[in-house]
Each structure stands twice: as structure tokens, then as C-alpha cells.
Amino acid sequence: MQAEKALAAVGPLSTRARNVLSGMLAEGRRGWHLLVRDSQPLASRGADAFLIGTGGVFGLVFDDVVPETPTARGIEAHAEQLFADLPVGNHRNVFVPETIELVLVVAPHGRLRAADGLRRVTELDYRSLFGSEARLDRGVAGRIAELVAARRHGYTLLSLDRPQAQVDSGEVGLIGTEHLVEGDRVRALAKPFPTWMTFLDPDQRALVAKNYNGPARIAGPAGSGKTVVALHRMARRARRTTGKLLFTTFVRNLPRCQEQGFAQLAPGAMHRTEFKNLHSWAREFLDQRGEPSEMKLVQADNAFNLAWSRVGSRGLLAEIEPDNRYWREEIDRLIKGRGIHDFDEYAGLDRRGRNGRLVRSARNAVWDLLTEYEQIRRRRPFLDSNDLIADALIELEKNPLEELYDMVVVDEVQDMSVLGLRLVHALTGDAPNALLLVGDGQQKIYAGGWRLSDAGIPIVGRGEVLRVNYRNCEAVLALAASLEGKTRVDNLDGDAGTALSRSGGALPGGTAERWSGSDSDVEEQVRIQLDRITVQGIPLSATALLTLTNYDADRFRAALRRWQVPFRNLEDYTGADEDMIKIGTVYRAKGLDFRAVLHPFFEKALPAEPLTDAERDRAELVINQRFVAVTRAREYVWLGTVER
């Protein structure tokens, strides 16, 4: 047989390896290739073969014994070295070798203990590898196989595309990279994570493997791939440790969406990896310790409104700003969110992120409001969102975890409270490569400001900034840049960051439309846009309708029902591919992206002439929220401004 003849050229193989590899070659699979270890000795143990195709790169190990951890790590390290720095597709992208999945090929009925991070197939069901979710274009897979074979590090290239002929490993250039560039861009637009799972910019790739001797921070403008890099680092960490990992954030629905991407990067580590927002983690932790953990937000709202009516609504605070939401944020973010229990500490606080400074008499009034609120809360009693985090931190300080997390990734860190930062820091300490903070000061949508040093997290020399936008097409990027608020962007620790308008763009084209009109016409305009998006070939599953408030979201949900357009609330969105438009507030869209975004923006949300500190603060947050909504779009965005 031609398959056996091809395998004869690569040297001695075990019976199982010969059976499986010859079966692959005999069947043939379009777009799939084999790199088979030849007779040349390897410097260290490596995979017996690599299967490369549309489903990714698999390192095949033919054995009935699970490799010991040091051996498995050695095989992984050899594979990463072999596939490192492959410029595939275009000059911006290199292959990410950490995405190689090791597969143990065992006897059909053998019993084998579970292997962390190691996929298992038998010599009868190896075909399941060909059914893996598509990650590579066929041409890209072939190019990867050619480039690795050309390095002549002990592997011979055999093509399943041509099962009866062996491919000369020196025959490089069968697939021109110029034909792959457009394909990469199309995949990035249509389904970006599988592409980014396999290819990263060289600067991003360097951050995946970089070692830090303590907590680290990755900042950068919208669309620069911060979360993708973080997930890759987390997957790399999972392969090198055996302990627990945590991906957390302030946003409730975001972890569920990112969990799907990580499952493709490190499927063998899912049983020890948690994806949950920080309040969920704190509640479960307190439950395990037998401590009160129920957070009652409605009661918190009622208690604050009652406290305001008693000590705030007719005094100095009402004269400064009659909207009690401003003072609720002052207490939530700048006092309780920082764990401040002493008035003198609050009196001396630099109110970063809120314009101006409150005089001491005003701060005294704020403290009176806080005191009244706390008295009401304790009488009822209940926990608000800050109490839950504070109680978890107190419990950790009294009774630390028996085993710290091997890694905690904090996404959208700019919206965390200082207490939240202290809590995640307590889960890892200052261990090398254990705590990674990811965010962008320009996308801050909550009041109050801080520096990482305020939470006692040292990152000097361990702060990184990404500067290229990979999410937004040129037209979307231009519109978003025109909507930037304040010109100075914080890198999350007091230094200047990179604004979106100063970032480079990677994707051409796109559509960005602006409309201004009356409230009576906005729903019809949204309906027109849905038709235009469909004509452009963008499905509902890749479209989002984002608003600033729940009230506005409810209004457009009602409109979608009238139009019989199926929708999924962002609160319930898990990243699943379903033929429904996603709808919700910008708060629920943080960290997500969609091919098309519709954002009806009601101009009345902006003060006509923001003169007071409170008005300027509110205007800045609304501008940031609008900016975040628009930057969720990859190739199509509609910004509809409803005039006053």
C-alpha cells in the first residue's frame, strides 16, 4: 500500500502508531497533514507525530501509560519550540504554539487514569480529531506543516490531502502567503476567537510567554486583544501548574462567555478552572465558611433612599447635587468600595475619577448619610455589594485559603473597586505569574478612580501596553475615536495610557452610520438597520442592540417582539451561537464584541451645560458608556442620536 510505503521512509514505528498513521494516510483528509518523527534522534522526548489541519495542531503520543508530569511538560516544551515564531497568514500574525493539544493514543480497551491537560483517544476512535472545531483555514494548515518540516528537526511531512504520495519536506512554498491574508481577515470578522486562538501579533505572542516575578497588568485601548492574551497566559499557566485557576471580573455575564474560549485552549484544565464574577466567588466562599452571604440589592436601594430622605434631601448635599445617585456612588465607590471606616481618612482622600474636591463640610454631610444608611442596613439586616466583598476579605484574612490559586485573571479591572482588587490579590499573593490584571482606563463606566497601588498591588516593571486594534474595521474605529471623552487615558496606575485614537488599526473597510432624529422615529430607524445588516450577510447571532439604561432596553425589547425578531438578553448570554439578536445595556456588553452593533443614544442623558462637579462627572461617564457601546462593533455600527 502507498500509505505503508510512505511510512517506511520515516523509520521504525510502534504497531499502534503504524496502524493509526497508515489509516489516516489511506483514508485521506482534505486540508490535513502529518509530521511523523523520523529516525533522527531528538534532543529531548517529543511527540511521535503531529496532526495538522483545520481543527488545529495535535501532538500525538502513542503509549498506554500517562506521561509523568515532567515528561509531559518536556513534550509540550519541545512542541512549542518546534512550532515557535511561524509567520503564517500575514506579517502581523504568528502561530501560537501553546495552542497545540497533546493527544495520548491508547489501546482500544485499555484502562487509563485521567491525565490532566492530555486528551485521550484510542486507535479505533482517532477519527474524532478530524471533527474538532475549525481553527485554521486549509491553506494555513498546509503552510504551518511545510514551515515546520523545513526546519528539519527530526520530522517528515506526509500529506493526507494526497494520501498516495509523500510530500518532500523541503518543498516549501506550496501555498503562497499572499492568498492567506484576506482569509485571515474574513475569519477574524466572522468568528474571531478561533482565529486569535491560533494566531497572535508578535507583541501579543511575547506577552503570552513572558515571566513576571509578581502581579502584572496588561492595558491597552479597546480591541487590542487584552483578554485574548490573558486567556492564552491562563492556558499556558494551566499546563505548567496543577492547582486552581480563576477568571473573574466585575461584569456578571462576561465570565460565562470567556469560559467557552478557554475550553478550547485548555480543555484538560476545565475541572480546576473557575469562571465567575467576583461577587459570585465571594458568595460561594462565604457559604463554604458558614458565613452570611446573601446580597440584597433591592433592599440596599430602599435603605439608601430612606437614608437620603432623612439626612440628605434637604441639606448641603442636595444643594450641591440633588440627584442622590451621585451620592450613592460616592459612598459605594469612594468610601465603602475602598474599605474606609474612618472619617479622617475619607476627609483626606484624593477623589480621583470625580471632578473637583468636596470641602470638609460636604464630606461631613456625606459621612452622616453613610452613617444613617449603615444603621438602617444593620437593623434589617442585609449585605450590599460592598459588604459581600468586604466580608469575604475579612474571612480570608482571619482564615486564609489552604492553597492559593495558581493564577487569577481579572478582566475589565478598571471597573473593580479597591476592595475587589484587595480580594483578588489575597487569592494569589505576590507569587510569580499568578495575578494578571487586564483593563483600559478609557472604558471606565463607573464613578470613582484609583491606582493599583491604592490596593497594595505592586506592578512596577510588570506593566504592559498593547497598542494595535484588531477588533474594529477602519470605519468603526474612526467613529469610535471621534467619540473619545477626556484626552488623557490612565494606564490604571497613575501614568498615561494609550487612547484608541492613537492606536493602529489592523482591519480595513467596515460600515459606520450616524443618524440624528426624534424619539418618535428612532424605533423605525432601528428596524431599517436590522434589514441593512441582514442584506450585508451579518446574522442576528452576531448582532447586538445596546442601550445606556434598562428602561431603554425594555423599550426596544418590546419593539423586537412586535417585529417578531428573536432576541437574547445579554444577562443570559453565554457566547453560544444562536440565531437571536443580543440586547441589553452597555454594562452587560463590557468585554464582548459583535459583528454589528446598534446603539440608540438618547441625548438627554448628557447635561446640556455641565457646570457642577456632579454634572461634569455624569457627562464624562455617559460619554465613556457611548464609547464602549460603539467599540463593541467589529464591522458594522449604527449610532442613532435621539435629539432632546
User: Which residues have a Cβ under 8 Å from the Cβ of 614 and sit 6 or more positions away?
Assistant: 320, 321, 323, 326
Cα(337)–Cα(389) distance, integer angstroms: 9
Q: For residue 439, what are the β-bridge partners?
A: 219
With residue 349 as reference, give the H or E element that holds it.
none
Cα(340)–Cα(334) distance, integer angstroms: 8
Q: Cell digits for 502?
A: 492613537
Residues, the chain = 644
User: Which residues have a Cβ under 8 Å from the Cβ of 292 and sit 6 or more positions away?
Assistant: 286, 383, 391
Q: Are 38 and 156 in contact (CB under 8 A)?
A: yes
Instruction: Determine if residue 226 is labeled as part of a ligand binding site.
Output: yes
Q: Cell digits for 625?
A: 458608556
Quickly tell me which residue has 465567575 as its cell: 276
> What DSSP state is assigned to residue 452?
G
Instruction: Determine if residue 225 is labeled as part of a ligand binding site.
Output: yes
Instruction: Determine if residue 449 is labeled as part of a ligand binding site.
Output: no
Q: What is the DSSP track for 160-180?
A: SSSTTSBPPTT---SS-GGGT
Quickly tell me which residue has 516593571 as its cell: 461
Which among 95, 63, 64, 55 is positioned nearest to 79, based on CA atoms?
A: 95
Q: Are 439 and 412 in contact (CB under 8 A)?
A: yes
Instruction: Determine if residue 296 is labeled as part of a ligand binding site.
Output: no
The widest CA-to-CA distance across the chain, in whole angstroms, is 93
In angstroms, the Cα distances linking 577 to 259, 543, 564 are 14, 11, 19
* Neighbouring C-beta atoms of residue 425, cutoff 10 Å: 22
Q: Are 131 and 55 in contact (CB under 8 A)?
A: yes
Instruction: Determine if residue 549 is labeled as part of a ligand binding site.
Output: no
Instruction: Determine if residue 183 is labeled as part of a ligand binding site.
Output: no
Alpha helices in 94-225 (DSSP H): 138-150, 181-190, 192-196, 202-209
Which among 470, 471, 467 is positioned nearest to 501, based on CA atoms?
A: 467
Angle (CA) 136-139-145 rounded to 5° is 80
With residue 441 as reference, give the H or E element that holds it.
none
Instruction: Determine if residue 487 is labeled as part of a ligand binding site.
Output: no
Which among 224, 236, 299, 297 is positioned nearest to 262, based on CA atoms?
A: 236
Angle (CA) 250-256-260 rounded to 5° is 135
Q: Are 124 and 110 in contact (CB under 8 A)?
A: no
Counting Cβ atoms within 10 Å, is residue 56 exposed (0-12), middle (13-18) or buried (19+)? buried
Q: Are 156 and 169 in contact (CB under 8 A)?
A: yes
In angstroms, the Cα distances linking 192 to 233, 434, 470, 635 are 18, 27, 10, 12
Instruction: Determine if residue 220 is labeled as part of a ligand binding site.
Output: yes
Q: Are 565 and 530 in contact (CB under 8 A)?
A: yes
Please report how many Cα atoms fall inside a 13 Å half-sphere around the Cα of residue 251, on the Cβ side. Answer: 31
Which residues are annotated binding-site positions?
220-227
Which residues are annotated binding-site positions for ATP?
220-227
